[in-house]
Amino acid sequence: MTGLLLAHLSDAHIGPLPAPQWRELLGKRFTGYMNWKRRSDIHNMDVLTRLVDDMREQRPDHVMMTGDVLNIGLPAEFPLAASWLQSLGKPQDVSFVPGNHDAYVRSAMPYLARTFAPWTSDDAHAQSHYPYLRIRDHVALIGLSSGVPTPFFIASGRMGKEQREAFAQMLDETRQQGLMRVVMIHHPPYRKGATPGRGLSDVRHFEKIIARHGAELIVHGHNHRQLIAHLHGPQGKVPVIGVASASAVPGTPRHRAAYHLYTVTKHGGDWKIEARARGTLPGTDTIGDLGPLTLER
pTM value?
Answer: 0.96
Q: Dihedrals φ, ψ of 54, to 5°?
A: -65, -40
d(CA 187, CA 116): 18
- pLDDT reported for residue 83: 97
Which residue intervals of the chain are DSSP H helices? 28-39, 45-57, 77-88, 109-115, 161-176, 203-213
Domain boundaries, the chain: 4-293
- pLDDT reported for residue 297: 66
Q: Is 262 helix (H, G, I), strand (E, B) or coil?
A: strand
Non-local (6+) Cβ contacts of 192 within 8 A are none
Intra-chain end-to-end CA distance of the chain, in Å: 25
- pLDDT reported for residue 269: 73
CB 175 within 8 A of CB 181: yes
d(CA 274, CA 296): 10
Name the β-bridge partners of 265: 272
Which CATH number does the domain 4-293 belong to among 3.40.980.10, 1.20.140.10, 3.60.21.10, 1.10.10.60? 3.60.21.10
CB 287 within 8 A of CB 281: yes
- pLDDT reported for residue 2: 66
- Tell me the pLDDT of the chain (297 aa) as tens digits: 568 999 999 999 999 999 988 899 989 999 999 988 888 889 999 999 999 999 999 999 999 999 999 999 999 999 999 999 999 999 999 999 999 999 999 999 999 999 999 999 988 777 789 999 999 999 999 999 999 999 999 999 999 999 999 999 999 999 999 999 999 999 999 999 999 999 999 999 999 999 999 999 999 999 999 999 999 999 899 999 999 999 999 777 778 999 999 999 987 778 899 999 999 998 888 999 999 999 886
CA atoms within 13 A on the CB side of 134: 27
Instruction: Please name which of 58, 61, 57 lies closest in space to residue 2, comparing C-alpha atoms.
Output: 61
